[in-house]
Amino acid sequence: MSTLHQAQFLVTVNHLADLPADPLPEVAFAGRSNAGKSTAINVLCQQNRLAFASKTPGRTQHINFFAILTKDKTNLANLVDLPGYGYAQVDEKTRAHWQGLLSQYLQTRPQLSGLILIMDARRGMTALDQQMVEWFSGTGKPIHVLLTKADKLNQSEGRMALEKLKKELGAVCPPEQWTAQLFSSTKRLGLAQADQVISTWLGIESSTQHIANEKGSYKKQG
């Protein structure tokens, strides 16, 4: 069974000097505000209140770390919840600090194994999402996109949204560097695929429980 369900809050970071010094692998989650990032983290970790969404989208400028623990509380790896982008109503000084922290973390963090990028399936890849893909692709590290809220689309709409995204990703990022799928936290669609990607990046055992519990028709998502 995947150990993601044993994730526990580790630390909140607002300065580069406070980043965990251990060499454990990390997977970061990023996405536009209100795209469903916190909910996706909670569902993947089989918890209700591990990651919190701010009541005011874009207000959280901290990086939150969650430790993936074994039964004996040994820390195997970390999940990293990055601030949502797109709606931040903050002063320029605060915005500059947040952007600098995010930039330095994503570009220079050696422990970072890959980026899970959250996009709303109904909106697809926005200009800000494209900027993130283009910017992060320079690191050479993998990107896996979760098209969240896929339950809001019917099967045909979901397939078209995924195919459209793949074409857009292919135009801005090397094909060997990205993968993408449909995902729904509400309907538990795509959990097995996302769990497999994250577990592989972190070097931990993937879940079989998710595969058994997963329902829906989005089986071949690419």
| Residue range of the domain that includes 33 | 4-213
CA angle 86/49/185 to nearest 5° reads 65
| Cα dihedral 178, 183, 185, 191 in deg (nearest 10) | -70
Amino acid 101: pLDDT: 81
Specify if 220 maps to a domain.
no
The 10s digit of each residue's pLDDT in 46-92 is 998 898 765 544 445 689 999 999 888 999 999 999 988 865 566 67
Amino acid 49: pLDDT: 82
Amino acid 54: pLDDT: 55
Rounded Cα distance between 208 and 87, Å, is 37
Specify if 24 maps to a domain.
yes
Question: Which CATH number belongs to the domain containing residue 169 in this structure?
Answer: 3.40.50.300
Element (H, E) at 10: strand 7-13
Specify if 104 maps to a domain.
yes
Element (H, E) at 195: helix 191-202
Amino acid 27: pLDDT: 98
Specify if 192 maps to a domain.
yes
Provide the token pair at 12: 């909140």
Residue spans of the chain under pLDDT 50: 1, 56-59, 208-212, 214-222
Closest CA to 146 of 117, 187, 124, 112: 117
Cβ burial, residue 91 (10 Å; 0-12/13-18/19+):
exposed
Provide the token pair at 87: 């709606």
Contact 135/54 with Cβ under 8 angstroms? no
Specify if 222 maps to a domain.
no
Specify if 219 maps to a domain.
no
Specify if 112 maps to a domain.
yes
Specify if 218 maps to a domain.
no
Amino acid 85: pLDDT: 80
CA angle 19/92/15 to nearest 5° reads 10
The domain total for the chain is 1
